[in-house]
Structure 1
Amino acid sequence: MTSGAEVLRAEDWDQWYSVLELAFGGVPEAPEERELYQRLTEPERSLAVWDGSEVVGTAGAFSFRVTVPGGRPVAAAGVTMVGVAPTHRRQGILTSMMRRQLDDVRARGEALAVLTASEPGIYGRFGYGIATMKVSAEIDTAQVRLTVPEGTDEVRLRRVDPREALKVCEEVYARQVAGRPGMLVRAPGWEELGLLDPPGGREGGSPLQCVLAERDGEVVGYIRYQTRPTWGLGGPDGTVVVRDLEASGPAEYAALLRYLCGIDLMRTVRLGNRPVDDAWQHLVSDLRRCVPRVRDELQVRLVEVGAALQQRSYRAPLDVVLEVSDAFCPWNEGRWRLSADGEGAACERTEAEPDLALSVRELGAAYLGGVSLSGLAAAGRVRELRPGALAQTSTAFGSDVAPWLPHGF
């Protein structure tokens, strides 16, 4: 008989993590990756379900700060490492862990929980909504030309050891965080994620490489990437696999992209995770030859509706009453009056007649400004109860830039 979800003891971490590996296909992770995640794990925020002496369910949370519209970093539980042993599926283990976890998040005073899902259909029933997307591409450098902005030639590029450049790269990253919703403020230890480079995961490619962009002696951008040289009947046909690309401005970004597209013996530049409004799409001569693909990424759950809606800013003045349904966290159920202006936002309980009706899942999807409430209404997931309220609220919830999660967790 299984136990309820219990807080993980640090000495049980190896068994706990091995069950997670089993749930994700049974292939052990590289020692370097396993060691890093052991250091990053917060045992007091991690849950285990036991069947006797055997762990059969795992779930955890990281203590993150996530940028919301307006540039403010707010506390959020980064839900992670969720798995159930194949022998114990369909026994309510996942639901019990989600119940315990959201209760714990609420008790800690965090208004948000966020996650990335291996299967996106799982978490909607627990109130999570897909809030960010990512675009990937494969730029055919033999067929695609770049048009770069003025000042690109003034940017100096310098190849460096990735670890030796870690501090300056983190400084560049930190300057970008406030400008885009969904980005994570990297706490100590998380900078190591960008350096993970186990030899067994290189797929015939080079070790991780790093190039800095500099202007007037200051580091203003960086790329981390790997080259995978191959040859076909027509000659060299290699691929550049881009891990990270961060830049402080258009010229710096273009200089780094131009460098990637000009590496000898490489024909394809593979971008695996970029914002849907990323600049490369406007620099290439032929977007179709870059084969862009869009996929869901970060899911958001409002644990405390009132507090969460007060933490972000809004693009336009707003005074709207929301009728919110939330079967899994019933403390959020009911009517909330959201008022916002240039000075801030307030969200409080009300008995006034509602203007919009929606579930907490739709609020999570729209929270970072990348998913339109009007689009959700077109799918029947938001109901307009006062004429004009939908357009007004949808506009106010929007973001000038697309939200984006730069890396998983």
Structure 2
Amino acid sequence: MTTDVRVLKRSEWDHWYGRLELAFGGVLETREERELFRELTEVDRSIGVWDGDECVGTAGAFSFRLSVPGGGFVPAAGVTMVSVAATHRRRGVLTSMMRRQLDDVREWGEPLAVLTASEPAIYGRFGYGVATHQLGLDIDSSRVRIAAPVGTDDIRLRFVPVADAAEVCERIYRLTIGSRPGMPARTPGWERLPLLDPPSEREGASPMQCVLAERDGEVVGFVRFHNKPEWSSSGPNGSITVRHLDALDPAAYAALWRFVFDIDLTSTVHSGNRPVDDPLLGLVSDIRRCGVRVRDSLHVRLVDVGAALATRTYQAPVDVVFEVADAFCPWNEGRWRLTGDAKGASCERTGEAPDLALSVRELGAAYLGGVSLSSLAGAGRVRELRDGALAAASLAFGSDPAPWLPHGF
């Protein structure tokens, strides 16, 4: 097969995006969704694979700054809109796009590439590791109660139209993004993403509603949600789906969760994306009735091992030599000495004897501190070559709190 892999032209966007929609089932997005992603697409960082006049593969890369352990932000390519036409599967189209894209990311000087995967088994062969996870919850709110901390009753709650509350909700997000690794700093335009509310994604529920939490007239939290009224022969059996909930302190956080648990005519609260160490788990009276499930979220790829490991900090002193395997990006292969602590780090090439052997995929998984090197060693994916090196490095790489990706891209 003869195909052409090249950078997208703005005039080709409609055809390119239409091929993406077709690859994901052919259900067209709303005009609002489509226009937003037209504006957010960085065409000079997007590529297509062309077979004659037909686009048979798509991939893009947003310009992100991602929060990392220590509270800093690292430039990262947010890999997105990846698709291969059903007529051209298993012909090397995806591999050709991943090759071009990672070469480009390296040339741009960005040490990380990150993505969320429609199918998590796909990207490991390109060096991506699952670095964050998310909780899904299906809570029996008729039986589960919130143990509210002191100050919860001082919080005032009020309904505000979603659009009217957008600016203050975005301010809350900006104040919280440094609190966890894995959160992207939103550039202009991205504040519109959480406001998208296509009817096709409501599953019969109401349009998105918003409630603000206030203390002394100052907004300290918010929740955006859908209400789905349902009735059975025994009475009301509605449900609440939480889209976004955040707050600046424990009392406001508890007040918002207590509110959604107590909405009249409902008995279930659904939430599809919460941190794995969400404080909600410490507020509920019965975790068994919360239907907790875990799935992969952000996949991380170290494009430049030395630069990536040097741009975060470490919660304990570390001095370790990695033997890194990276068949897809061979410039990363070899031995790297990482030294660092909570103040900073350096990572340089070395000829010293290695302490740990692993692939770049494991480094990506451990990078944000949510997956331990020890757990990866337990799965046979990291080998300890010097006694004690694994425990020390695993401790240093950790993060408290756990990393979290609050929204897709």
TM-score, normalised via structure 1 length: 0.99
What residue in structure 1 maps to residue 233 of structure 2? 233
Whole-Å separation in 1 of the counterparts to 2:2 and 2:407: 34
Q: How far does residue 86 in structure 1 lie from its aligned partner after superposition?
A: 0.4
What residue in structure 2 maps to residue 50 of structure 1? 50
| 1:168 is the counterpart of 2:168 | yes
What residue in structure 2 maps to residue 188 of structure 1? 188
What residue in structure 2 maps to residue 130 of structure 1? 130
Contact 1:325 1:332 in 2 (8 A): yes
Q: Give the letter for the 2:98 counterpart.
A: M
Q: Secondary structure at the match of 2:289?
A: helix
Q: How far does residue 76 in structure 1 lie from its aligned partner after superposition?
A: 0.3
Whole-Å separation in 2 of the counterparts to 1:4 and 1:149: 60
Q: How far does residue 266 in structure 1 lie from its aligned partner after superposition?
A: 1.1
What residue in structure 2 maps to residue 245 of structure 1? 245
Task: Between 191-200 and 219-228, report the one with greater CA deviation.
Answer: 191-200
Structure 1: gaps of 5 or more residues = none
Counting only pairs closer than 5 Å after superposition, residues 62-211 of structure 1 correspond to structure 2 as 62-211=62-211
Contact 1:2 1:49 in 2 (8 A): no
Structure 2: gaps of 5 or more residues = none
Calculate percent identity across the aligned residue pairs. Answer: 67
Q: Secondary structure at the match of 1:164?
A: helix
Q: Give the letter for the 1:42 counterpart.
A: E
Q: How far does residue 23 in structure 1 lie from its aligned partner after superposition?
A: 1.2
| 1:402 is the counterpart of 2:402 | yes
Whole-Å separation in 2 of the counterparts to 1:20 and 1:200: 18
Q: How far does residue 277 in structure 1 lie from its aligned partner after superposition?
A: 0.4
Q: Secondary structure at the match of 1:219?
A: strand
Q: How far does residue 143 in structure 1 lie from its aligned partner after superposition?
A: 1.0
Whole-Å separation in 2 of the counterparts to 1:93 and 1:385: 38
Q: Secondary structure at the match of 2:4?
A: coil
Deviation digits for residues 231-260 of structure 1 (CA, Å, limit 9, x no counterpart): 011111111010000111110100000010
Contact 2:230 2:236 in 1 (8 A): yes
Q: Give the letter for the 2:132 counterpart.
A: T
Q: Give the letter for the 1:131 counterpart.
A: A
What residue in structure 2 maps to residue 337 of structure 1? 337
Q: Secondary structure at the match of 1:33?
A: helix
Whole-Å separation in 1 of the counterparts to 2:51 and 2:189: 33
Q: How far does residue 272 in structure 1 lie from its aligned partner after superposition?
A: 0.9
| 1:212 is the counterpart of 2:212 | yes
Q: CA RMSD in A?
A: 0.9
Whole-Å separation in 2 of the counterparts to 1:401 and 1:386: 29
Q: Give the letter for the 2:279 counterpart.
A: A
Whole-Å separation in 2 of the counterparts to 1:329 and 1:345: 23
Q: Give the letter for the 2:142 counterpart.
A: A
Deviation digits for residues 8-66 of structure 1 (CA, Å, limit 9, x no counterpart): 01111111111111111221122221111111111001000111110000000100111
TM-score, normalised via structure 2 length: 0.99
Q: How far does residue 311 in structure 1 lie from its aligned partner after superposition?
A: 0.6
Q: How far does residue 313 in structure 1 lie from its aligned partner after superposition?
A: 0.6
Q: How far does residue 342 in structure 1 lie from its aligned partner after superposition?
A: 3.6
Whole-Å separation in 1 of the counterparts to 2:342 and 2:294: 33
What residue in structure 1 maps to residue 357 of structure 2? 357
Whole-Å separation in 1 of the counterparts to 2:2 and 2:65: 34
Whole-Å separation in 2 of the counterparts to 1:332 and 1:345: 18
Q: How many residues align?
A: 409
Deviation digits for residues 343-389 of structure 1 (CA, Å, limit 9, x no counterpart): 31000000000000000000000000000100000111000000000
| 1:385 is the counterpart of 2:376 | no
What residue in structure 1 maps to residue 307 of structure 2? 307
Contact 2:4 2:51 in 1 (8 A): no
What residue in structure 2 maps to residue 4 of structure 1? 4
Q: Give the letter for the 1:220 counterpart.
A: V
Whole-Å separation in 2 of the counterparts to 1:65 and 1:235: 49
Q: How far does residue 269 in structure 1 lie from its aligned partner after superposition?
A: 0.8
Whole-Å separation in 2 of the counterparts to 1:266 and 1:12: 47
